[in-house]
């Protein structure tokens, strides 16, 4: 009997053991399924956010393209009309050479015309839609050239220039577009320091990337200005066109690079331009 009872009980115990194994396996599978579900949900959310960002960027690019076409048309029309105005002003200056009050009034008119001409140039640079002519551009000579032109303004505003760009550093870029970008960023920095300060230019290379940074010791940016700095026609200056940094942004984009702007811990603002070592 004892032997028979043990023999009969063995299948029953084996069934309990199998059931526990199945339940444990089911529980493990359920946990893995829940974890997979959470991971998939997180991935779907990430991709959704990424798609939303890309859609916003695409919409922004479409708006920029429309603005560029409009700006180009307006700029050419204005420039065509400025040419005869400048000629007439030149004739008028000769005729009133002996009348100081009239000359003073004429100089104000000429100043307005020159400002309008600068705005037209900004519009044309913003609207320019050409592929960059890439070459290796040694940065130090370009920086020295730019700040030699700005030397009178730097001196007039008591701004110290700190040029930390090495003599051998280079960027793969369109030289004229890079020159314009450096000029626009520098002029923006000078506007932020009307009562003096320090303008610092640095550059360095990392694997696959060359970086140029221009910083000032001005009052820094508000949150709104930081968010909208590269937006076309946005400006915090009473006489600005709001196109200087937009041109820099377009330049970086056409080179497959990026440009950022933000406050620095020591005070002031830094604009950082990063370009790939070779075209993407």
Instruction: Parse the chain into domains and list their residue ranges.
Output: 1-129, 135-276
Q: 60: pLDDT confidence band, cut at 50, 70 and 90?
A: low
HSE (CB half, 13 Å, CA atoms) of 277?
Answer: 8
* 193 pLDDT higher than 70: yes
Query: Which pLDDT score is estimated for 154?
Result: 93
HSE (CB half, 13 Å, CA atoms) of 243?
Answer: 20
Contact 196/158 with Cβ under 8 angstroms? yes
| Lowest-confidence region among 130-134, 146-150, 203-207, 256-260 | 130-134
Query: Which pLDDT score is estimated for 223?
Result: 86
Quick one: how far is CA 24 from the chain centroid? Answer: 56
Question: E-assigned strands of the chain?
Answer: 135-138, 159-163, 170-173, 197-206, 209-215, 258-263, 269-276
HSE (CB half, 13 Å, CA atoms) of 84?
Answer: 4
Question: E-assigned strands of 94-219?
Answer: 135-138, 159-163, 170-173, 197-206, 209-215
CATH 3.30.565.10 is right for the domain spanning 135-276: yes
Q: 165: pLDDT confidence band, cut at 50, 70 and 90?
A: very high
Q: 36: pLDDT confidence band, cut at 50, 70 and 90?
A: confident
Q: 32: pLDDT confidence band, cut at 50, 70 and 90?
A: confident
* 280 pLDDT higher than 70: no
Query: Which pLDDT score is estimated for 225?
Result: 83
Mean pLDDT value across residues 249-276 = 91
Contact 209/275 with Cβ under 8 angstroms? yes
* 71 pLDDT higher than 70: no
Query: Which pLDDT score is estimated for 240?
Result: 66
Taking the chain, what is the end-to-end CA distance rounded to the nearest angstrom? 85
* 34 pLDDT higher than 50: yes
Query: Which pLDDT score is estimated for 95?
Result: 87
Among 230, 62, 64, 216, CA closest to 154: 216
Token pair of 171 as six digits: 């960027």
**What is the rounded average pLDDT for all residues in the chain?**
82
Distance CA 74, CA 81 (A): 11
pTM of the complete model beyond 0.75: no
Distance CA 170, CA 20 (A): 69
Query: Which pLDDT score is estimated for 9?
Result: 43
* 4 pLDDT higher than 50: no
pLDDT per position as a tens digit, 116-140 = 776 777 666 666 666 788 999 999 9
- Angstrom distances, CA of residue 40 to CA of 48, 53, 77: 12, 20, 55
């Amino acid at each position: 009997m004892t032997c028979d009872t043990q023999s009969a009980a063995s299948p029953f115990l084996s069934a309990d053991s199998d059931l526990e194994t199945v339940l444990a396996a089911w529980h493990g599978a359920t946990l893995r399924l829940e974890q997979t579900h959470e991971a998939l949900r997180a991935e779907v959310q990430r991709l959704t956010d990424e798609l939303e960002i890309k859609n916003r960027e695409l919409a922004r690019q479409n708006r920029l393209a429309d603005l560029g076409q409009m700006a180009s048309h307006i700029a050419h029309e204005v420039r065509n009309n400025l040419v005869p105005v400048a000629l007439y002003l030149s004739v008028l200056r000769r005729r009133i050479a002996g009348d100081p009050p009239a000359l003073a009034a004429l100089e104000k008119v000429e100043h307005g015309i020159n400002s309008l001409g600068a705005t037209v140039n900004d519009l044309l640079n913003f609207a320019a839609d050409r592929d960059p002519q890439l070459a290796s551009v040694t940065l130090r000579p370009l920086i020295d050239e730019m700040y030699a032109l700005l030397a009178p303004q730097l001196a007039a505003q008591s701004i110290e220039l700190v040029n930390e760009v090495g003599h051998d550093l280079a960027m793969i870029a369109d030289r004229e577009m890079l020159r314009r970008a450096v000029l626009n960023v520098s002029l923006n920095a000078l506007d932020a320091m009307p009562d003096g300060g320090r303008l610092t230019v640095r550059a360095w290379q990392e694997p696959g990337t060359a970086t140029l940074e221009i910083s000032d010791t001005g009052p820094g940016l508000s949150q709104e200005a930081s968010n909208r700095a590269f937006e076309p026609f946005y400006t915090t200056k009473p006489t600005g066109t709001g196109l200087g940094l937009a041109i820099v942004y377009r330049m970086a984009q056409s080179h497959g690079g990026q440009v950022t702007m933000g406050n620095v811990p020591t005070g002031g603002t830094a604009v950082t331009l990063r370009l790939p070592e070779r075209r993407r």
